[in-house]
Structures are given as structure tokens and as C-alpha cells.
Structure 1
């Protein structure tokens, strides 16, 4: 009888697969609009803080009305910098404005989908979004992936590009460094491929060569020890090119 596979152990919720969230500083989100008010608010970057499991640093912002919150730091931000929050804020790096007040072609980050959701788009290190057009339905922005989406005109966004854009340029020289990074994110590392295991340890294991030996598509009702691979896949294999593309 084989052992329980990785997906079974992960679903049980043991500390091995649980992220160390108690070490994290705070969520990076904008305050509610009721607390910000309608007038342009002035604040200062009190401190730049490293947040475990986050690629970019956090900026602790103190406002003149006593409000404090954390925002993702951008390229060029420094401690003591003045930031303005509101529709009349100047178009400078680090300032927070509604997307409807930001000109087309401006680079922004930490963009809200709807007001008061705290920020949903362009939050990873080095990422940004670009304002494409303003329409009655909302503001169209282009994401780093190249896709476009429409957000509410009253949604907030920060001017600039998320800091730590060169994070991926530095290689991991030791496996231990990669291990502790993945541990902070609650991910298992290193991971052994199923085809490299013995038949008792994984459904795809065993055999003379590294091949699954059986269809990799399984149903949703498959037992836990067999539910690996493409679960309830509608299609599999390479995507067929359309006739128009071939022509």
C-alpha cells in the first residue's frame, strides 16, 4: 500500500503547507473613502518596511488628519516624502488619485476595481498599469500582461511603478535561500515530479521511463489518491489554430 500523495497532505492543512502569516506586517490597501473625505489630504511616508513573502517593500503613510495606512512602495519613493490623496492631488510619483482624474498614458499601480476594495491590480514588484481611455462605463487600463480591463472611475490608484523591479534579476545562489522564500509563502520546496517517484508514491510513478503510463485527465469524482493531473479538463493537448490563422 502506498503513502498519501502530496495533494492529500496539503489538503489536510498541516503546518508544513501553512504560510507563516503571523510574521507579515499588514495588508496594503487604501483607507475607505469616508475616512479620506472629499478634500485633498496631505501625508508623509513615515517608514519603508520589508514585508515577508512580498516582493516590494511597504510604505507606512501618516496623514495630517491622524489617519495611517500601508501602501506598496514605488520606484523613487523615500522616507519623509510628501504624498497627496484626492482628486486634486498633483500628478507626481507616489500620489493617490481616482483613475478618472489621471490622464491617458500615465503609469499607475495598486489599482482598485471598485471603490473601497483596497487595490486589486498591479501590486507585484516591478508591475504597473497604464490608463488607456476614459468612457462613461469607466476607465480602461492596460495591465502588465497586455490585457485590458475597465475599472470604476472613482477607484483609487497610485502614480508610478511598483518598487523592486530588479528582484528577479538576482539569481538564487543556494537552495536554502529558495527554500526559505517558498516557506514564507506557504509553498512546498523542492517538489519531486510524480513521474520520478515509484508506483507506490504517486499514480504517475513507476515504469522504465519518466512517463505517466495512464491518461492524465481525471474526473472530479476521482478518489483523493488518484486525483492528480488535469482535473475535469474540458480539452487537453495543444490548442488548434483557426483556419484564418493558417491562411
Structure 2
């Protein structure tokens, strides 16, 4: 005995599809950034004995642009023959001599341990742990300030305004990252914004869920009241973990009881 499918009886339901955030979670090439165009990672060289005891001389070989990075990047060649890439502080030029090490002078572009940098100096590309290559204050126009030295470590004022204790052996570059004011310039054309977002691998353009059709998003359709609760488990997998994560309530304000 054959069973007739529900679609032939006119009761076939129109199913929705995965929303854009869930499709991005797959990690396919459609949503991946173009990392093959990038020049090199920005990080300090591995710490040598000569760098710890004195200073290693170097020279700025070239200043280049790295796709997806707002700040300019410089390739620096050391006297040992090693070449490393670093973000460029304001005032650094091609052919400029640089130093890296504990005995280096406190000049713009030189790299020193935080424990050897005087208080009030503006620094950038700061390591969080000795030898990690630099993690803090690397975007265009960013800088941190050395506030003071304590037995617990060096107090650094971060670009956010908060302060943090950092190990004295962590290295930092003296100066302010070049390219300040980059975000203040308008894009003027949607194409310019498109190419920036493509280089960074960001989603563009962003569409409101309520502006979509019902099949594309839970908030979609012209019905304003048909919204689904977005509370999800904290242990939800990527793609499903969207909205109110492990929320205690649905986000609505509770009415106060009148006495």
C-alpha cells in the first residue's frame, strides 16, 4: 500500500534555510579572508643572547602595505642577517638605523624591554608575555603609555584607558603607530568599503533580519510580531550560538508591582 506524500495533497510546508551567520560558521572559502595576499606576520624575532646582554643593530629595509592591515608595515634587517616585519611608528623612514635589545637607546622605532623604558614614554606593539612577538597597540594610530615600574611588573596604560601590569622582560617599540586618523576619512563609494571588508574577511553588506523574507531569517517577513526567542545554550555549537547566550531572561523588562 503506497502512502501519498503530503506535498501532493497541498499541505507541503515551505522550510526555511540557514541564516547567513550560520553559513559563515562552516568556514568555507566563500567567507574566508584572502590571507594568501598578505606579506608576512608582524612579530619580533626570537630573543637572542646578544639582544639580552646588549643591543642588536638593524636597518629599515622597506615600508610596505599589507592587505587587511590598516597600519603600514616595515621589513627590518638585523646585523645577524635575520629579517623580521614590524608595524611602523610615526617618523620611521626607509634606511633608518634601528636597535633592538636591553641596551638600545630610547628612540622612535627602537625595541626595548618594558623594564628599560622610562615612565611617560609612548610605546606600541607590546608583548603580553616575553617572546610572544607583540600583541597590544598594533592598529593605526594606537599607542600605550608606560605609567610606572613596580616589583610586580611595569604598569602600562592601554589604548582603552585601562591599566595593566606587564612583565618587565616584555618588549615594546618606542613611538605611536603611523596612520592615525585613517577611520576619520569617509569611504565615499560603496566599492571602497567592499574591498576593505573583502580583504579583512568581514561580512558586507549587513542586512537586518527583519528586512529579509521569512525563509531567510527567523525575524523575516512583514509581520512585526512573529519573532522567535533567541536564547540559546552556552554549550551550543558555532552557528547556532547566536542571540542571547545563556540568558537568564528573554531580555524584556519586568513590570514593577504596585503596592
What TM-score comes out, normalization by structure 1 length? 0.89
* RMSD over equivalenced CA pairs, Å: 2.3
Classify the secondary structure of the residue corresponding to 1:7: helix
Match of 1:187 in 2: 202
CA drift at 1:36: 5.4
Q: Quote the Cα distance in structure 2 between the aligned partners of 1:183 and 1:190.
A: 11
Deviation string 1:167-213 (CA, Å, 9 cap, x unpaired) is 1121111111111111111112101111211222111222444x772
Is 1:7 aligned to 2:21, yes or no? yes
Question: In 2, distance between residues paired with 1:197 and 1:81?
Answer: 54
Distance in 1 between the 2:184 and 2:207 partners? 25
Closer, same or farther: CA 30–96 of 1 in aligned 2, 3 Å:
same
Residue of structure 1 in register with 2:61 after alignment: 46
Q: How many residue pairs were aligned?
A: 238
1:66 aligns with one of 75, 81, 92: 81
CA distance in 2, matches of 1:207, 1:195: 8
> How far apart are 1:15 and its partner, in Å?
1.5
CA 1:54–1:225: 2 relative to 1, 3 Å: closer
Q: What is aligned with 2:12?
A: none
Query: 2:99–2:111: 8 Å Cα contact kept in structure 1?
Result: yes
Matches within 5 A, 1:29-40: 29-34=43-48, 37=51, 38-40=53-55
Given that 1:61 and 1:71 are in contact with CA atoms closer than 8 Å, whether structure 2 keeps it comes out as: yes
2:138 corresponds, among 123, 145, 164, to: 123
Aligned to 1:157, which of 172, 195, 199?
172
Cα 1:132/1:206, change in 2 over 3 Å = same
Alpha-carbon distance, 1:166 to partner:
1.8
**Which position in structure 1 is the counterpart of 2:119?**
104
Aligned in 2, Cα 1:74/1:236: closer, same or farther, shift over 3 Å? Answer: farther
Aligned to 2:245: 231
Distance in structure 2 (CA, Å) of the matches to 1:223 and 1:204: 21
Question: 1:5-24: per-residue Cα shift (whole Å, max 9, x none)?
Answer: 11221111221210111110
Does the CA contact (< 8 Å) of 2:25 and 2:239 recur in 1?
no
Secondary structure, counterpart of 1:12 in structure 2: coil
Instruction: Give 4+ residue runs of structure 1 displaced > 6 Å after superposition.
Output: 221-226
Decide which of 115, 137, 153 is 2:152's aligned counterpart.
137
Aligned partner of 1:215 among 209, 215, 229: 229
Shift in CA distance, 9/66, structure 1 to aligned 2, threshold 3 Å: same
Distance in 2 (alpha carbons) for counterparts of 1:77 and 1:43: 13
Could you tell me whether the CA contact under 8 Å between 1:203 and 1:226 is conserved in 2?
A: no
- Checking the alignment, whether the CA contact within 8 Å between 1:195 and 1:212 is kept in structure 2 is no
